[in-house]
Amino acid sequence: MATIAQQPYVVARLVDASDSRTEMRVHIRSGSSRAAGVAAARQLADLVGAASAAVPIEHLVRYPHLVRGGPRAAPGSSRFAVGVLIFETDTLEQYAIIEIPGIKPSLIDPNNNTLLLLTAPPLANYITALTSGVFTNPFGYQLTTCIAGLYQVRQ
């Protein structure tokens, strides 16, 4: 199994007088640090903003990776079968929702097919990793405890 780091890139997103939006993307050197990437993204947005009549509204740096040689999609797998994990965070009333598209049927509670088996080893290992201290909700609050696991079929 191989993970292939692709060339990172920075993006400047702009909006024009008609409220249409688009972006300009420029690659940056491999191995660029977060600080260097963020600085390059800001530099690009500022320079593009000066050369464009449209206005920069967002800039970003992205580090893309390809995965090759991992397990292929299993027969019958569907992205619409979603496992939903709900987490508490280190701050009261701050939660996080993390989804798993194509959840394995073996991780669904056979006695209640709207729930996941949170103690099944694959899910328990995943939850342990998610609550290891690295991951947060979108507001930056650290995931602490998985309080529910739901199975949903999306439209």
Interface positions, 94-113, toward other proteins (CB under 8 A): 96, 98-105, 107
Residue choice 109, 139, 146, 151 for contact with other proteins (CB under 8 A)? 139
| By CB under 8 A, residue 2 contacts other proteins | no
Residue choice 55, 90, 114, 153 for contact with other proteins (CB under 8 A)? 55
DSSP code for 44:
H
Cα distances from 132 to residues 14, 39, 125, in angstroms, run 37, 29, 11
**By rule CB under 8 A, what string of x and - marks binding of each residue 113-132 to other proteins?**
---------xx-xx--xx--
| By CB under 8 A, residue 135 contacts other proteins | yes
Enumerate residues 6+ apart whose C-beta is below 8 A from 137: 87, 89, 94, 95, 96, 143
Count of positions on this chain that bind other proteins (CB under 8 A): 91
- Which among 59, 102, 56 is positioned nearest to 83, based on CA atoms? 102
Enumerate residues 6+ apart whose C-beta is below 8 A from 29: 8
- For tokens 């009261």, the residue is 92
- Closest CB to other proteins among 47 and 147? 47
Residue 148 beta carbon to other proteins: minimum distance, rounded to whole angstroms = 16
- Closest CB to other proteins among 40 and 88? 40
Write out the binding residues for other proteins, residues 26-45 only, by CB under 8 A. 26-30, 32-34, 36-38, 40-45
Please answer whether residues 128 and 120 qualify as being in contact, where contact means their C-beta atoms are separated by less than 8 angstroms: no
